[in-house]
Amino acid sequence: MATDSWALAVDVQESLGTLQIKENEEKLKAEANGTAKTEEDGDKTDEEEKEDRAAQSLLNKLIHSNLVNTTNQVEVLQRDPNSPLYSVKSFEELRLKPQLLKGVYAMGFNRPSRIQENALPMMLAEPPQNLIAQSQSGTGKTAAFVLAMLSRVDPANNWPQCLCVSPTYELALQTGKVIEQMGKHYPEVKLEYAIRGNKLERGMKIQEQIVIGTPGTVLDWCVKLKFIDPKKIKVFVLDEADVMIATQGHQDQSIRIQRMLPKDCQMLLFSATFEDSVWKFAQRIVPDPNIIKLKREEETLDTIKQYYVLCSNKEEKFLALCNIYGAITIAQAMIFCHTRKTAAWLAGELSREGHQVALLSGEMMVEQRAAVIDRFREGKEKVLVTTNVCARGIDVEQVSVVINFDLPVDKDGNPDNETYLHRIGRTGRFGKRGLAINMVDSKQSMNILNRIQEHFNKKIERLDADDLDEIEKINN
């Protein structure tokens, strides 16, 4: 990651916390680059959809500086159900090379994560086994396959033995960083990046043992340029399969790469989600797989009090919001708007009222968004105004109130129940009680609210935003 973009992100964010949100929005628009996108663009092409997923995935990597702690169950489907199932509780049990064990501890890992407990013994087993693994972002997948690649290479051989494909340039760089960090005490093993811009001399052969790159460049390096001899690859990793499949071209290229690999090459595929399309793709890439899935935490609305407020326009919604803020103490709140225009307007209004506001919207570069989220997580701002694009993956424990300034709808204008659950599900976590307030400003939005109530079979109570006593009571 270029250092100047970080500097820019911090610089931009420094001023975002103040009253200058509107001016900065213009600046941000001008500065946003390739990762920028708009949520108001309507129908998205495959390419744009992939960019969304790739940006979200990169964002998750940037904001999850720590392992996501999970006690969720791991589901393991072994290719040979009769073979014993190994799981490990310590890295020592894996009998790693001392240089790698040192690397693991140098990264601050004390014990394998939930997914690593099962995935690592499977990936390191002899003879090598194929694996499809799915678990949410931040649960230790990257660290696991990096360790597997580093364990399998023979540093005495100066040719590529492990090949890892990532959906984008930025994601490949991120994974490359993990390889470099974990292999810090194993300098004989070298890494090469098969990404655009890395022009090698024609006719040369790569000597590095690990190659990480994007599917198009990797394919070129194997077929056209012959930098890599695919027949000598021992481990093939396909990372972020769910992001990869959003682009047909990437799917085809990945399958073409896989077909060139030897029969005994170990195939490993990772994904944060496991919808049908990912599963179909995974099966084409990974023959005879073992499968590991981490069960998702069930989000429920049981611990969340839900209310709605009737208003007639956005100004009234803003006034209602001010009343709510006046009546109850809110540690941190997330406010969701439908468009980034509304989000920018609302952030400006709230700042003028004296709130410390952070604004997050889709046109910001991923690094800028990560910086905003980090500041919010640290409590530097108490209110985060955001659009849908940014809603997922943000985990802020202190958020006690979620406000749907606009109700979540899909592109056909129907209620988006899943997004509703995701948004407000983040307040009532870890047994804490949460509060969700929905702003309703038209017949249509009342209709949406009713349908959401029906869907979850949970009553959303009306709240009179002019009655401060009543508002005070809701927080008891």
Ligand X SMILES: Nc1ncnc2c1ncn2[C@@H]1O[C@H](COP(=O)(O)OP(=O)(O)OP(=O)(O)O)[C@@H](O)[C@H]1O
Binding site for ligand X (CB under 6 A): 60-61, 64-67, 107, 109, 112-113, 116, 137-143, 272
Beta strand extents in 158-229 (DSSP E only): 162-165, 191-194, 210-213
To ligand X, the closest distance from the beta carbon of 453 in angstroms equals 34
To ligand X, the closest distance from the beta carbon of 366 in angstroms equals 13
Residue number, 228 or 237, with CB nearest to ligand X: 237
Amino acid in position 213? G
To ligand X, the closest distance from the beta carbon of 253 in angstroms equals 21
To ligand X, the closest distance from the beta carbon of 270 in angstroms equals 7
To ligand X, the closest distance from the beta carbon of 210 in angstroms equals 16
**What is the SS3 assignment for 418?**
helix
Residue number, 63 or 384, with CB nearest to ligand X: 63
Q: β-pairing, 383-387 with 357-360?
A: parallel
To ligand X, the closest distance from the beta carbon of 247 in angstroms equals 18
334: part of which helix (H) or strand (E)? strand 332-337
Residue number, 3 or 66, with CB nearest to ligand X: 66
Beta bridge partner(s), residue 237: 164, 268
To ligand X, the closest distance from the beta carbon of 175 in angstroms equals 8
Number of neighbours of residue 167 by Cβ within 10 angstroms: 27
Residue 78: CB partners within 8 Å, gap ≥ 6?
85, 290
Residue number, 138 or 289, with CB nearest to ligand X: 138
Q: What is the dihedral of CA 445, 309, 379, 336, to 10 degrees?
A: 10
Residue number, 124 or 449, with CB nearest to ligand X: 124
Report whether 362 contacts 38 (CB < 8 A): yes
Residue 419: CB partners within 8 Å, gap ≥ 6?
388, 391, 408
Residue number, 61 or 317, with CB nearest to ligand X: 61
Burial 226-236 (b: 16+ CB within 10 A, else e): ebbebeebbbb
Residue number, 82 or 110, with CB nearest to ligand X: 110
To ligand X, the closest distance from the beta carbon of 156 in angstroms equals 28
To ligand X, the closest distance from the beta carbon of 193 in angstroms equals 17
To ligand X, the closest distance from the beta carbon of 66 in angstroms equals 6
Q: How far does the chain reach from its first CA to its final CA, in angstroms?
A: 46
Residue number, 164 or 437, with CB nearest to ligand X: 164
Residue number, 137 or 342, with CB nearest to ligand X: 137
d(CA 356, CA 55): 26
Residue number, 117 or 349, with CB nearest to ligand X: 117
How is the beta sheet containing 191-194 ordered, strand by strand?
74-77, 290-294, 131-134, 266-271, 235-238, 162-165, 210-213, 191-194
Report whether 66 contacts 110 (CB < 8 A): no
Can you state the percent helix, strand and coil of the chain, rounding each to 5?
A: 40, 15, 40
Report whether 399 contacts 374 (CB < 8 A): no
To ligand X, the closest distance from the beta carbon of 109 in angstroms equals 4
Residue number, 267 or 449, with CB nearest to ligand X: 267
d(CA 337, CA 357): 14
**Tokens 């169950």 correspond to what residue?**
73
